[in-house]
Structure 1
Amino acid sequence: MNSATGTANPVESLLLGHPGGRRCGVDRRVGEVSYGGLRDAVTDYAGRLRAAGVRPGCRAVVVSDDCVAAVTAVLGLWWHGCVPVVLHPMLRTAEVAFIVRDSEAEFAELNVAPEQAVALRAELAAIDAGRRAAGQAGLLVGPGPLRAGGPTPPPAGFAATDELLVQYTSGSTGRPRGVRHCLRAVHAVLRGAGSLLGLTPDDVVLSTAKLSFGYGFGNSLLYPYTAGACSVLLDGQADPYGVAAALAEHRPTVLFSVPRLYAGLLELAERGKAVRTGSLRLAVATGEHLPGALAARITEVFGVPLLNGFGATEVLHTVVAAVAGPDTARGAPAASGGAPTERRPHRRGAAGPGSIGFPVPGVTATVRDDAGRPVGDEIPGRLHLVTGSAALGYLNRPDDTARTFADGGVYTGDIAYRTPGGELCHVGRADDMLLLGGYKIAPAEIERVVRDTPGVADCAVVGSTDRTGLEQATVYVVARDPADPDQVRKAVRSALRAELAPYKRPSRIELIGELPVTANGKLARFRLRPRSGGPVGSPEGGA
């Protein structure tokens, strides 16, 4: 911390205060990495950025799956004073290019497969050439080798409200929006949700959510590195078999995942497969609604306390939570980064439908009407949060920023109500956004792909629940020629696989004679939802 200027660098608290020999990260590509080894890699990366002429303060895109190299890039960029924008490589080239242009990034780190790198480098080279022709700052890809230029300078300073991190999230039309986070927000989530985790240097953390999403960024980087713990970084798409293997191999003490994957682990266990959860002292579920019955099964079968959380990219991480299961976690819990203390569990949510718990420390949650006025208990309204982890706003979206970051806090876009006991219950999304496996998906984005498919006259995407109570997406398709439904279904499935990332694909494809409409001729999406609420067969849109 630079007391003279009131600035600090997040790397100082994440790396510099822990013994150099302590293990901090594990991935299958490089094995184990120590805090000292990571410090050396981070300062070397920052030196390469400086030697390459990367401008401190610029935004920098990092396209990478979860691995030590991705963490090194993020921390090295922070050390140099840059603003990372982390993207998952499952995004298509056009999607990455849009974000590079929208964020005005001046640097890109590509940690992707060779064939993907070729396409991305060609697209980014075109962006660079266009900018330079217009007299603008170019786009450098990769920091290059370290050239002799003296010792690496000390870490750059960030003020509390300086832009520190940009995370992209889909808007109601599917157009990604950059959410601008600051150092104040990082400190707020560590004091808030981080205080409920009780991480110590002895913890081993495993997250199935990726660094490119707010939930995973906190799980795999902010929380464990602040506490001096170890973070297991999983690459590839998470599935129950892979997570079960990681549990057996790495024996984590804290597991972060989404309800959908917990349901998959339960199915494995109930079929007699080994799901080794004996090392866990805490499980955390957020990213989508957790049905009460599923939460009960998780705690009963795995015998571990479960922290059920609710958050949003606009507030960086979890802001509402409740604990289910045994009162005492296994092991010796402690406040994040502090000495062992007696565990004081967050208040427990009832098992009622839609329960998401209570605000975490430092967060005030209210339910408001369309005019921004708080409403009484049991009355549904817009969920509004006042928290230090609130983002600075959206990048280059002044109208969206004004709508979301209003009335002294943040409107999450969710409809909720408060019980007389202060518990918050989730009703649904105000804008019909789908929350699938922790990813926020706009129905309009899926519908655009389906409508452009030969043989399709119209379509609509709605959210429903599967047999475990988890949210899924169903696309209803009106065929131009109803006599050949199998051919239309095949064409839609092929289009979805070609045009959308795996996590954006609907679980079911249903053919329908016509879509329901209101008296005004608008799509009556709500009339489709009861039709899609039955048991789910094999996924139609999987990888």
Structure 2
Amino acid sequence: MNPTAGMANPVELLLLGHADGRRCGVDRRVGEVTYADMRGAVADYAGDLRAAGVRPGCRAVVVSDDCVAAVTAVLALWWHGCVPIVLHPTLRPAEIGFIVRDSEAEFVELNVAPEHEAAVRTELGEVDAERGAAGRGGLLTALVPGRAGPSAVPPAVFGETDELLVQYTSGSTGRPRGVRHCLRAVHAVLRGVGSMLELTPDDVVLSTAKLSFGYGFGNSLLYPYAAGASSVLLDGPADPYGVAAALDAYRPTVLFSVPRLYAGLLRLAEQGKAVETGSLRLAVATGEPLPGELASRISDVFDVPLINGFGATEVLHTVVAAAVGQGKAAGPGSIGFPVPGVTATIRDDAGRPVADGTPGRLHLATESVALGYLNRPQDTARAFADGGVYTGDLAFRATGGDLCHVGRADDMLLLGGYKIAPAEIEHVVRGIAEVAECAVVGSADPLGLEQATVYVVARNPARPDETRKAVRAALRADLAPYKRPSLVEIIDELPVTANGKLARFRLRRRPGGPVGSPEGRT
């Protein structure tokens, strides 16, 4: 029997029917919130949306770090029949403005740091002025709390394939693309990897990935709320010290994180610092390739079962996974097996399946495949084809039936779970007066995790330190923290192919891989 059958709005699935006194969320600002508290807050917010004249069915942007208020906004927007788009508050104002324009959002919930708010509101004011000049309706950026009282209107009805959620991901050129999800996809991921998690109302979930990232949206909202469990919402940057403190303070039973943060926790433990993992019954690592040796160390040192997962924004969440130390997956680069409801095939450029052991394009067929990209018909036609979606990853099927990840077909970087286009970083670096040329490539750090290195040819070769300093300053000023390269390398010239094109593969194959001095780190 399908437990989600008949649900016409995700609010019914995620919020209604759970015990009133059960804790659903906690953050450092408001403390603990029960399901009864959340239902009341969502009804109030939905009433405010209606009173403000927000049009049901419109897209609405929520700019916020992880907190109870952000979850409230998303659920209320769904209640009212809107399509939420969650963005991280460290995005530059121009990036937020681009997404508001691209999505044609009609409402923005802004929850950013005071020192950032004025610049973002200036950008949104420009969007409003553009729309006014074009004779279009304005952009709503504020509600009047309590004007209408709680919503007495039942949650809006969504069809299984109606647009329900848009998540933005970088394209191969760095231009963000909105991925359009539907209610069918939510049901599918809950039946898929959700069945492997086996969450219950007694679980406490902690995710280091943010709500603005597809992986975090599932971890902190979809899975725990569907199970009637509790979600710990962490604001601010996720670093090993902060996560170790959260493990001690909140005693979660399930931890979702990315491989490089697990590696950071291991380093703390090896240094003799307390990393309290005794409450955990399960750890999940997704967002970037997890080296086999690191996976074993995580499971052994922290004495917890570990699921190694693989997913993509285009399929909402994790679609390939394996329990470390269990099953047949053991080879280098293995990302496991398709989760229930997912068919994974490896195909050539013509879309034909290839033999086991032969690298090719990873193709996924599942009900969680997105509706396509927003306003990108050509990109949609290329990616969403042959009865599913091509993720842009290269992989092969091993003899044991598990899938092994080879790399990205489009040179995209996967840093801490975020897809980053080299072109976006290069655009910033090329604008620096001290830089003549540059190129960004990915490589493995000593733990086998992907890192980004920006190779720079200095305009004045005699002053490399000055060039490096200028690059580091520009990266900090113009890129969100998760987009910044780990290393800055000054080299004499960029390698090129016989026809003059940049030979990125030669940079990746430099002796020992990219090596940076301490002062080169950003």
Does the CA-based 8 Å contact 1:48-1:147 persist in structure 2? Answer: yes
Q: State the TM-score, normalized to the length of structure 1.
A: 0.93
Could you give the per-residue CA deviations for residues 84-141 of structure 1, whole angstroms, max 9, x where no partner exists?
A: 0000001000000000000000000001112222222222122123212322122100
Does the CA-based 8 Å contact 2:43-2:150 persist in structure 1? Answer: no
Aligned length: 517
User: Matched residue of 1:520: which SS?
Assistant: coil
Deviation at 1:151, TM superposition (A): 5.0
Measured in 2, the distance between the counterparts of 1:486 and 1:84 equals: 45
Does the CA-based 8 Å contact 1:189-1:317 persist in structure 2? Answer: yes
User: Matched residue of 1:487: which SS?
Assistant: helix
Counterpart amino acid of 2:112?
V
Measured in 1, the distance between the counterparts of 2:296 and 2:7 equals: 45
Tell me what 1:139 maps to.
139
Tell me what 1:512 maps to.
491
Tell me what 1:477 maps to.
456
Deviation at 1:148, TM superposition (A): 3.8
Does the CA-based 8 Å contact 2:168-2:179 persist in structure 1? Answer: yes
Judged with a 3 Å threshold, the aligned counterparts in structure 2 of structure 1 residues 8 and 541 are, in CA distance, closer, same or farther, namely farther
Counterpart amino acid of 1:122?
T
1:452 is the counterpart of 2:431:
yes
Judged with a 3 Å threshold, the aligned counterparts in structure 2 of structure 1 residues 14 and 128 are, in CA distance, closer, same or farther, namely same
1:467 is the counterpart of 2:443:
no
Tell me what 2:471 maps to.
492
Judged with a 3 Å threshold, the aligned counterparts in structure 2 of structure 1 residues 400 and 146 are, in CA distance, closer, same or farther, namely same
Tell me what 1:410 maps to.
389
1:37 is the counterpart of 2:37:
yes
CA RMSD of aligned residues (A): 1.5
Measured in 1, the distance between the counterparts of 2:506 and 2:40 equals: 58
Does the CA-based 8 Å contact 1:207-1:233 persist in structure 2? Answer: yes
Measured in 2, the distance between the counterparts of 1:303 and 1:226 equals: 27
Does the CA-based 8 Å contact 1:466-1:535 persist in structure 2? Answer: no
1:399 is the counterpart of 2:383:
no
Deviation at 1:142, TM superposition (A): 2.1
User: Matched residue of 2:156: which SS?
Assistant: coil
1:367 is the counterpart of 2:367:
no
Measured in 1, the distance between the counterparts of 2:324 and 2:413 equals: 25
Judged with a 3 Å threshold, the aligned counterparts in structure 2 of structure 1 residues 356 and 446 are, in CA distance, closer, same or farther, namely same
1:76 is the counterpart of 2:65:
no
Counterpart amino acid of 1:211?
L
User: Matched residue of 1:140: which SS?
Assistant: coil
Judged with a 3 Å threshold, the aligned counterparts in structure 2 of structure 1 residues 150 and 17 are, in CA distance, closer, same or farther, namely closer
Does the CA-based 8 Å contact 1:358-1:424 persist in structure 2? Answer: yes
Does the CA-based 8 Å contact 2:299-2:305 persist in structure 1? Answer: yes
Tell me what 2:513 maps to.
533
Judged with a 3 Å threshold, the aligned counterparts in structure 2 of structure 1 residues 302 and 143 are, in CA distance, closer, same or farther, namely same
Gaps of 5+ in 2: none
Does the CA-based 8 Å contact 1:80-1:155 persist in structure 2? Answer: yes
Gaps of 5+ in 1: 328-346
Judged with a 3 Å threshold, the aligned counterparts in structure 2 of structure 1 residues 536 and 488 are, in CA distance, closer, same or farther, namely closer
Counterparts in 2 of 1:161-200, with a 5 A limit?
A: 161-200=161-200
Judged with a 3 Å threshold, the aligned counterparts in structure 2 of structure 1 residues 150 and 427 are, in CA distance, closer, same or farther, namely closer
Q: Percent identity?
A: 78
Could you give the per-residue CA deviations for residues 296-336 of structure 1, whole angstroms, max 9, x where no partner exists?
A: 110110010100000000000000000014x6xxxxxxxxx
User: Matched residue of 1:97: which SS?
Assistant: helix
1:310 is the counterpart of 2:310:
yes
Does the CA-based 8 Å contact 2:344-2:362 persist in structure 1? Answer: yes
Measured in 2, the distance between the counterparts of 1:479 and 1:534 equals: 17
Counterpart amino acid of 1:431?
D
Counterpart amino acid of 2:243?
V
Counterparts in 2 of 1:335-354, with a 5 A limit?
A: 347-350=327-330, 352-354=331-333
User: Matched residue of 1:141: which SS?
Assistant: coil
Could you give the per-residue CA deviations for residues 276-296 of structure 1, whole angstroms, max 9, x where no partner exists?
A: 000000000000000001001
Q: State the TM-score, normalized to the length of structure 2.
A: 0.97
User: Matched residue of 2:215: which SS?
Assistant: helix
Deviation at 1:445, TM superposition (A): 0.7
Measured in 1, the distance between the counterparts of 2:67 and 2:518 equals: 31
Tell me what 2:223 maps to.
223
1:85 is the counterpart of 2:85:
yes
User: Matched residue of 2:465: which SS?
Assistant: helix
